[in-house]
Structure 1
Amino acid sequence: MMEILFGTVIINSWVLYNHGKPVQMPKKNFMEAIIEALTQVPILTETANECAAMPKTNHTFENKGIKRRNCAGCYNKLRATLNSKDAQRKTKKIKSYCAECNKGYCAKCFYEIHL
């Protein structure tokens, strides 16, 4: 119950923060700013941790997966607004993946993250 209330407070705050501004802050950045302000700990993004150190040219989109995986990009987008169980349930199940990262990605998320 508290998670729903807290999520509603965050979304309402984000809407009010962006109201009337010509350039709006993305919801993810707004949530990260609040977390950093409350915890005094900088947030490292997934791409900074895992994929940024590798040259992007080595990443190849493979569509030959045997088992279906959750799309890592879709999961991260849903996770910004949902709890982990709901995000996992609603994430696309795909057979494609990045051969370098060994993570499942739908075509849209692969190209958003790696190009």
Structure 2
Amino acid sequence: MVLFGQRRAVPAQARVEQPGGEARFSLIREAAEAVSRRGGAPAHCQIGGPRGEACPEPAEVKLADSWGDTVWGCMAHADEALLNARGAFLATEDGMGLGPFLQLRQADPDRAAQG
């Protein structure tokens, strides 16, 4: 498994302390907090249990894979999926993804004339 993260951690004063236990940096928790601030997750986890049972926990993070499949999950099920589903990764909606990257590569007549 390869896990990618940001180059710099969120400053300590900007982190939300989790009650009960040591505070640990978690990329999954950081993603969940970003989604929470935007208010964009569905009400319940869409991953569910191993035998198809529904999960009553709130959805906190969005996962995706290279085929374009996406799912919203609670922290426990998202963690399980990231470890067990090949090619699964945390999906973000920060505006810095593949779409903006490809838009920058669109043919621009003014730039093409300069080159």
Using the size of structure 1 for normalisation, the TM-score is 0.28
Larger RCO, structure (CA 8 Å, separation 6 or more): 1
Going by fraction, where is helix more abundant, 1 or 2?
1
Q: Flag the structure with larger Rg.
A: 2
> With structure 2 as the length reference, what TM-score do the two structures score?
0.28
